Amino acid sequence: MPPAVVDEPREPAPGGEREAAVARAADRADERSRRVDVAARAAPSRGGRVRVEALLDAGFARGEAEAYTEHLDALALRGLELRDEATRDGWLDTRRFREENAALRDERDAARERFGDELTDWALYSTGRPNRMQVESVIVGSAAAEAGLQVGDIVERYDEARVLDFEDLRAGTTSGRAGDLTALDVRRDGESLRVFVPRGPLGVQLRPARVKPPRVR
């Protein structure tokens, strides 16, 4: 990611020029907001709908698979209805919409806690979305380098917890007591490997990866 650009400090515009400058800045901000919203609505959704058949093929029981997909479908429908209502009633670009949309995202995240890592893992994979993090580079002298991590390693678990995305890994490295030796499970050339690292920053650059999980039964 390129470094953020910080504007140089500028002298305030005098009198009416200052008010005009503020108005122009507000207009530009509104226009940027509209462009971002239009782009977000035009962008294709990441992945597709989770299918019961894909979860059955992975070894999940029918009742479990159907309950999971029905839950996700209900949340997706509520998201569509929320956007439709906000668009029709004119509060799409408001704090209310952002807060209600964020609450729906929290419910989607909570589905993992309710249904477990394995279902979430297979749901991500079966819809073509990333479900792992892969080491792209290792900083010389870092904890990862000392533990022998290599470019291409797939991170699977940190402190026994499944790692499906960057947030999972960050939650692990920033919890507990800094410096405590912690198990890190990776997959290298198809083989599982466990190393131990001090809890804290690993010193790696990661990228999302899609890896087929093992069947559950």
Cα–Cα–Cα angle for 37, 209, 3, rounded to 5 degrees: 55
Query: What pTM does this model have?
Result: 0.71
* Predicted local distance difference test score (pLDDT) of residue 50: 87
* Predicted local distance difference test score (pLDDT) of residue 47: 54
Tell me the helix, strand and coil percentages in the chain, rounded to 5: 50, 15, 35
- Greater confidence (59 vs 39) lies with 59
Dist. CA 92–CA 103, nearest whole Å: 15
pLDDT band at residue 16, thresholds of 50, 70 and 90?
low
* Predicted local distance difference test score (pLDDT) of residue 39: 31
pLDDT digits (tens, 9 = 90+) for 19-57: 554 445 445 444 443 433 333 333 333 456 789 999 999
